[in-house]
Amino acid sequence: MGMSVRAPLLAALLLGSSLAMAPAPSAQAADPVTPQATTVPVGAEPDGTPVRLDVSVWPQTGGKHPVVLLAHGFGGTKDSVASEANDLHDRGYVVIAWSARGHGASGGRIHLNDPAYEIADARTLLDLAAKRSDVELDAPGDPRAGVMGASYGGALGLMLAGADRRIDGVVSAITWNDLAAAFFPQAAVTRPPTTAAGRASIDVPGPFKQVWATNFFLSALRGSQGAGAGAGQCGRFDPSICRLFVQASETGGASPQLTALLRAHSPKPTMNRVTAPTFLVQGIADSLFGLDQADANASALAATGTPYAVRWSDGGHDAPSSHQDEELEASYTWLDHYVRDRAPKDSALPTAAFTYPTPAPRPGQPTTLHTLPAYPGLSGAALQTRSLPLATGSGALVHPPGGQPASLIAVPGLASLGVSLSTYQIAALPGQSTALDTAPITEPTTVVGSPTMRLTVTSDAPEVTLFASVWRVTGGSTTLTNPLVAPFRVPVTPGRPTPVTISLPAATYELPAGTRWRVLLTSTESTYANSRVPSTIRVTDASALVLPVAVGATAGGTAAGGLDTETLLASGALVLLLAAGLAGWLVRRRRRRHLPARPDLADVPLVVEGLVKTYADGHRAVDDVSWRAEKGQVVGLLGPNGAGKTTTMRMVMGLISADAGSVHVLGQQVTAGSPVLGRVGALIEGPGFLPHLTGRQNLEAYWSATGRAPEDAHVEEALDVAALGGAVDRPVKSYSQGMRQRLGIAQAMLGLPELLILDEPTNGLDPPQIAAMRPILRRYAESGRTVVVSSHLLAEVELTCTHVVVMHAGRVVTSGPVAELVDSDDTTILDLPEDVDHDVVRAGVHALEDSDGVLEVRVDTPSRLVVVASRGRAEVVAAAVAARLPVVGVSSRRHLEEVFLGVISSASAPGPEGADGESGDEASLVERLRQVRVR
């Protein structure tokens, strides 16, 4: 599968990105203390295989100190949290970090936080801490201890606190309450009462979150490298868990066994036993573990009177937060208050009880933080509510046979790359969606929580599955307010209207005056497993939206108006919740270091310096690669298969990380999601389009996803490049390969990016189309922009590119202007008649080789000779004529293919041996390459 980048498509996320539960590695600061590495024996696997954990301890000196157990995310290792370990050590803690069972160098299999395995392992580490001479004890065998973790590690922290009363404080971020509800989500749905018992909640498993499950397993498979034989398709997963997940992927549904297992491996069963003050952090930008999961954990803590706080981050599994440093500091403060400083549980919270972000005034700016004196829950029962009338309250839609094509509302993890595919054209597929619009809102409103609405559904099938998303309509623009979707599944009697109340995606929403809200209902969603059975659905009697509204105090300031504190305190629900609170956040991933800009490279479109990439099997695909592309250049990246070209281009685009070295675009270092990538257009590994949309609609949808003004797209110029004629308004599924390729190049050129990167752009093009592409790329570069082309068609590179970079075996073996590489003062090309006698040529070559100053004579073709000599060109021609060669043409230009084959041959040949029998040094290689360039 391919992708057209600046906005990588869904296939890339399914097959190539590490967006599952693990925080992505980031550059580490220098350790202020060297951790002690050890292995700790823990419980054996079910088959009796012994297990040891790979553990690091950051010790303290001079007295007794509290300890923090620091857990990593899924697919990570103890190294993933080394930065936080250093920070906590500096604050006076002994820190214990470990690679969880089945991860990194630890033994065993992944059991998904099984109480009998991963949670028992953490209890063993608490026992270890209690025996250390530098750890403070509350009682014999009871260390003064906190636990901190995100995602996989966040659930472990909650479960450990529920299983072991020795835990004195918890920081748990972006994690789950019920893993079954996370992978088979069902938005809160209720039906009117059928008896005097009251409203009935619909409790059925929701649709399978297929894309996240795929990434979940892929991350484990990537982490299983080196696990030895037997890893197979399950990697290091416990086989029974793997079997149940594979079954769910095949059927799209949850078996009772999988549901029971996932719920048992969740905090939910033991949350009523958590007594340690707990800091819950959950991301709004999180389609894996939504705000509903933290809400369930908070409700359980409130029910037992355990001090807690809730903070909503503008990040999550899908995107980083814009307040990472403050949130991490708040997490440390929570542990300092309850663990290090031993504050009593009835003391004032060290931070606001509830903190939430509201959208930034402009893209690229951080969100604004607000606080409330208590956590109100998603329904906003303790807040004011406001009804927003609907202008449209009915509609019809179908579920297509096979569940395809599927609406694309939000791609998990894509926001972390700085882009979005959430465009209305590809979400609201004709016939498969219906829109319920509100009347224009009369005054600005901030919604905090989950809006609800009543509606009636009727279907010819016994079950209705719909996906709800919330869009803002301003003039002619329709934008997704948050990249979230609320799936709901409702059992119905075919043909009979069924009234329900549904909860929409929980988040914070800003509604400026004059805008309308649109609730989009779709019958399919591409990130979920969709039923293959067709059905028709009608929605009627949709009611007004009920909005939980809040106006909190600006963090660090005073209330901005709206609800006053006395009114809030008068609420009985808030009185109950005043025992709760919030500090900041343990970031989803290890704290990102700000990468310094390079002012000296600000005017250079692309600089690659010392790139190294070694894969898990030990193969070094890229080895110290350096080159650059200047303004006005068309640079060709050449090399045989396996040379490292594609790996290099993936690192250039931030799609994979380098082991060493750097990439700078216009002076800004490139990492995944770097803002500077918005100034780059790319086509890598072929284009990817939505087949049911036309070529024009695909381009418009792509550009809309960037969030930039439509007039900046230059769509008509891009369509001129595509040269599709009337086909531009036909569905892409009817296109040939060449037509798709041309549309892909046009898509990469949308917005006229300063740097254009094209991987094999002539694939599928016929000779006239290839010829037509040459001047387009030349003119594009001549306008002050830069083009980088990877290609195996050497003749095309020679005709199109101004410069080339040749790679072989992961290294750059030569580079420079095409004109210099194919031209040489020492080389003379002699053209002979096409019908020249071979015997005449053979005799002439021998005679010419004996001439003074002639170093080499090579028969390139029967009618073309290449002569390398230390004499001038005129003298070489005179010597050739004297050797009775019928010369009809003279030049100094070689074909690029000759240069390419020459440097590859030279790079592959064994070098001169040194005294130790090893190949010669790099200087010898450089000298050989210099000789090849002039031959």
Give me the helices (H) in 579-644, please: none
Any bridge partners for residue 173, and if so which? 150, 281
CATH number for position 472: 2.60.120.260
User: Could you tell me if 599 and 497 lie in one domain?
Assistant: no
Instruction: Answer yes or no: is 570 within a domain.
Output: no
In a domain, 59, yes or no: yes
CB 540 within 8 A of CB 458: yes
Supply the CATH number for residue 707's domain.
3.40.50.300
The domain that holds 900 is classified in CATH as 3.30.70.100
Structural Rg of the chain based on CA atoms? 32
Q: How high is the pLDDT of residue 553?
A: 79
- pLDDT for 478 equals 87
Query: What Cα–Cα distance (Å) separates residue 289 from each residue in 418, 447, 919?
Result: 20, 20, 55
According to DSSP, residue 1 is labeled -
Domain identity same for 401 and 285 = no
Q: Last residue of some domain: 820, 852, 874?
A: 820
* Of 739, 816, 721, 715, the residue nearest 778 (C-alpha): 721
Q: Which residues of 381-411 are buried (b: 16+ CB within 10 A; e: fewer)?
A: ebbeebebebeebebebebbeebebbbbbbb
Please report, for the domain that includes residue 297, its CATH number.
3.40.50.1820
CA dist., res. 894 & res. 822, Å (int): 5
Half-sphere exposure of 406 (CA within 13 A, CB side): 19
Cis amide prior to 405 (ω within 30 degrees): yes
pLDDT for the residue numbered 266: 97
Q: Is 301 found in the same domain as 160?
A: yes
pLDDT of residue 920: 38
Whole-model pTM: value is 0.65
For residues 470 and 519, is the Cβ–Cβ distance under 8 A? yes
Is there a domain that residue 248 lies in? Answer: yes
- Domain shared by 603 and 737, yes or no: yes
Residue 526 included in any domain: yes
Residues 245 and 301 in one domain: no
Helix/strand/coil percentages in the chain, nearest 5: 30, 25, 45
Q: Is residue 860 part of a domain?
A: yes
Q: Does residue 466 contact residue 166 with C-beta atoms inside 8 Å? A: no
> Does any domain span residue 574?
no
Q: Which residues of the chain have pLDDT under 50?
A: 1-31, 195-197, 223-231, 417-419, 557-594, 911-935
Report yes or no: 831 and 885 within 8 Å, Cβ to Cβ. no
Task: Report how far residue 262's alpha carbon sits from residue 289's, in angstroms, rounded to the nearest whole number.
Answer: 14
Same domain, 365 and 491: no
Give residue 329's Cα distance to chain centre: 25
Number of domains comprising the chain: 5
Same domain, 402 and 500: yes
At which of 820, 845, 872 does a domain end?
Answer: 820
The DSSP bridge partners found for residue 638 are 806
From 247, 271, 184, 222, select the one nearest 74 (Cα to Cα): 222
Structural domain of residue 357, as residue ranges?
32-178+266-372
DSSP state of 453: E
Task: Decide: helix, strand or coil at residue 339.
Answer: helix
The count of residues in the chain is 935
Residues 6+ apart with CB under 8 A from 738: 764, 765, 766, 769
End-to-end CA distance of the chain: 41
| The domain boundary residue, chosen from 789, 820, 851 | 820
Same-domain pairing of 629 and 716: yes
Query: Do 278 and 242 sit in the same domain of this protein?
Result: no
The count of other CB atoms within 10 Å of the CB of residue 535 is: 19
* Judgement on whether residues 317 and 351 belong to the same structural domain of the protein: yes
Point out which residues pair with 522 in neighbouring strands. 433, 467
Q: How far apart are CA 796 and CA 782, in angstroms?
A: 18
- Do 354 and 272 have their domain in common? yes
User: Which run of H or of E encompasses 516?
Assistant: strand 516-522
Residue 197 lies inside a defined structural domain of this protein: no
pLDDT for the residue numbered 365: 64
Strand partners for 559: 553
Tokens of 177: 């309450």
Q: Name the token pair of 486.
A: 């609320």
H or E stretch covering 58: strand 51-58
The answer to whether residue 589 is domain-embedded is no
The pLDDT, as a whole number, for residue 557 is 38
Task: Tell me whether residue 21 is exposed, middle or buried, using C-beta atoms within 10 angstroms of its C-beta: 0 to 12, 13 to 18, 19 or more.
Answer: buried
Cα separation, 529 vs 42, in Å, equals 38
How many H-runs (helices) and E-runs (strands) does the chain carry?
24, 43
Q: Are residues 778 and 661 in the same domain?
A: yes
